[in-house]
Amino acid sequence: MYEDKELQEYRDLLKTPDHFEEGFSWKTVVGSIFIGFLMMPGSMYLQLVIGQGIGPAARWVTIILFAELAKRSYSELKQQEIFLLYYMAGAALATPFQGLLWSQYLVQSDAARMLGLTEFIPAWIAPSVDSESLMQRTFFHRDWMIPILLLVGTQIIQRIDQFGLGYALYRITSDVEKLPFPMAPVAALGTMALAESTEERKKSWKWRVFSIGGVIGLAFGAIYVVLPTLSGLILMEPIRLIPIPWIELTGHTEDFLPAVATGIQLDLGLVFIGMVLPFWAVIGGLVGLLITVAANPVLHHFGILTRWHPGMETVDTVFANNFDFYLSFSIGLGLSIAFIGIWHVIRSFKKSSAQQRGTLKDLFHPPPGRGDFNFWISIGIYVFSTSSYVLLCVWLVPNFPWIFFLLYGFIYTPIVSYITARMEGIAGQFVSLPLVREASFIMGAKYFGYQGIEIWYAPIPIHNYGEATVNFRQIELTGTSIRGIIKSEIVVFPVVMTASLLFSQFIWRLAPIPSNAYPYAQELWHLQALNTLLMQTSTLEGNSLFYQALNWVYVVAGMGLGVVTYSILIMMGLPILLVYGMVRGLGQSTPHGLILEVVGALLGRFYFYKRYGSMWRQYAPVLLAGFSCGMGLTGMFAMGVTLILKSLGRLAY
Write down the pLDDT at residue 348.
Answer: 61
Q: Which of 14-23, 320-329, 469-478, 627-636 is modeled with the greatest confidence?
A: 469-478
Q: How far apart are CA 32 and CA 47, in angstroms?
A: 20
Mean pLDDT (whole number) for 174-186: 77
pLDDT tens-digit series, residues 36-60: 787 777 778 777 876 666 656 667 6
Of the candidates 299, 234, 216, 228, the residue with the CA atom closest to the CA atom of residue 588: 299
Contacts 24+ apart (CB under 8 A), 381-386: 381/160, 381/161, 381/163, 381/164, 382/161, 382/164, 382/165, 382/168, 384/160, 384/164, 385/157, 385/158, 385/160, 385/161, 385/164, 386/410, 386/413, 386/461
Report residue 424's pLDDT band, with 50, 70 and 90 as the boundaries. Answer: confident
The residue with greater pLDDT, 317 or 205, is 317
CB neighbours of 205 closer than 8 A, spacing ≥ 6?
A: 615, 619
Determine the average pLDDT of the residues in 25-45: 78
Please determine, for residue 383, whether its predicted confidence score (pLDDT) is greater than 90. Answer: yes
Q: Give the list of residues 6+ apart from residue 462 with CB closer than 8 angstroms, or none.
A: 408, 409, 412, 413, 436, 437
Please tell me the distance from the alpha carbon of residue 120 to that of residue 182, in angstroms, as a whole number.
45
Amino acid at 582: M
| H helices, E strands: number in the chain | 33, 2
- CB of 351 within 8 A of CB of 4? no
Residue 127 has pLDDT above 60, yes or no: yes
CA atoms of 515 and 508, how far apart (whole Å): 11
Among 409, 397, 380, which Cα is nearest to 150's?
397
pLDDT for res 429: 66
Q: Which residue type sits at 234?
A: I
Percent of the chain exceeding pLDDT 70 equals 85
Residue 649: HSE in the Cβ half-sphere, 13 Å Cα cutoff: 11
The identity of residue 7, as a single letter, is L
Q: How does pLDDT run across 438-448, given as a tens digit for each residue?
A: 778 887 877 78
Query: Mean per-residue pLDDT for 530-548?
Result: 73
Q: Residues near 500 by Cβ (< 8 Å), separated by ≥ 6?
A: 36, 40, 94, 95, 96, 97, 98
Q: For residue 480, what is the DSSP state? A: B
Kindly report the backbone phi and psi dihedral angles of residue 480, in degrees, each rounded to the nearest multiple of 5, phi listed first.
Answer: -95, 135
Neighbours of 399 (CB within 10 A): 12
**pLDDT tier at 653, thresholds 50, 70, 90:** very low
DSSP 248: E
C-alpha–C-alpha distance, residues 262 and 589, integer Å: 10
**Res. 284: pLDDT tops 50:** yes
- Count CB-CB contacts under 10 A for residue 266: 20
Question: What is the C-alpha to C-alpha distance for residues 133 and 141, in angstroms, rounded to an integer?
Answer: 6
Task: Look at residue 552 and give its three-state secondary structure.
Answer: helix
89-122 tens-digit pLDDT = 777 666 777 788 888 998 988 888 888 888 888 9
Q: Is the peptide bond before 514 cis (omega within 30 degrees of 0)?
A: yes
Classify 338 as helix, strand or coil: helix
Q: Is the pLDDT of residue 384 over 90?
A: yes
Contact predicate 55/106, CB 8 Å = no
CA–CA gap between residue 370 and residue 366 (Å, rounded):
8
Locate all alpha helices (DSSP H) within 73-144, ordered by sequence. Answer: 79-92, 98-108, 110-115, 132-136
Residue type, 589: S
End-to-end CA distance of the chain: 69
Checking if the pLDDT of 395 tops 90, the result is yes
Question: In this predicted structure, what is the pLDDT of residue 386?
Answer: 94
The SS3 call for residue 21 is strand
Q: What backbone phi and psi angles, to 5 degrees, belong to 512?
A: -60, 150
At residue 349 the predicted structure's pLDDT band, cuts being 50, 70 and 90, is: low
Tell me the three state secondary structure of residue 75: coil
Give the mean pLDDT of the chain: 81
What's the pLDDT tens digit per position in 457-468? 999 998 888 888
pLDDT tier at 9 (50, 70, 90 boundaries)? low
- Range of lowest pLDDT (341-350, 399-408, 437-446, 554-563): 341-350
| Range in 59-73, 189-203, 319-333, 407-421 the model is least confident about | 189-203
Please, what's the b/e burial string for 590-616 (b: 16 or more CB within 10 A of its CB; e: otherwise)?
A: bbbbbbbbbbbbbebbeebbeeeeeeb
Question: Which whole number is the average pLDDT over 165-183?
Answer: 83
How far, in Å, CA of 232 to CA of 648, rounded? 16
Residue-level pLDDT at 328: 81
Cβ neighbors of 446 (< 8 A, separation 6 or more) are: none
SS3 360: helix
Of these ranges, 5-14, 86-95, 391-400, 641-650, the one predicted with the greatest mean pLDDT is: 391-400
pLDDT digits (tens, 9 = 90+) for 59-97: 767 777 777 777 777 777 777 888 888 787 777 666 777
**Residue 347 pLDDT greater than 80, yes or no:** no
Contacts of 390 (CB under 8 A, 6+ apart): 402, 405, 406, 409, 461
What confidence score (pLDDT) does residue 7 get? 62
Average pLDDT for residues 419-446, to the nearest whole number?
75
Query: Coil, strand, or helix at residue 380?
Result: helix
- Least Cα distance to 127 among 105, 104, 111 occurs for 104
The DSSP letter of residue 366 is P
Amino acid, single-letter form, for residue 457: Y
Mean pLDDT of 539-550: 66
What mean pLDDT comes out for the span 294-313? 89
User: CA 562 to CA 436: how far, in whole Å?
Assistant: 18
Confidence (pLDDT) at 53: 61
Give the DSSP per-residue string, 390-443.
HHHHHHH-TTS-HHHHHHIIIIIHHHHHHHHHHHHHHHS-----TTHHHHHHHH
Q: Give the 3-state secondary structure of residue 288.
A: helix
Q: Can you give the pLDDT at residue 237?
A: 79
How far apart, in whole angstroms, are the C-alpha atoms of residue 100 and residue 298?
A: 41
Q: What single DSSP character describes residue 515?
A: S
Per DSSP, what are the bridge partners of residue 21? 480
- Using CA atoms, how far apart are residues 266 and 247, in angstroms rounded to an integer? 8
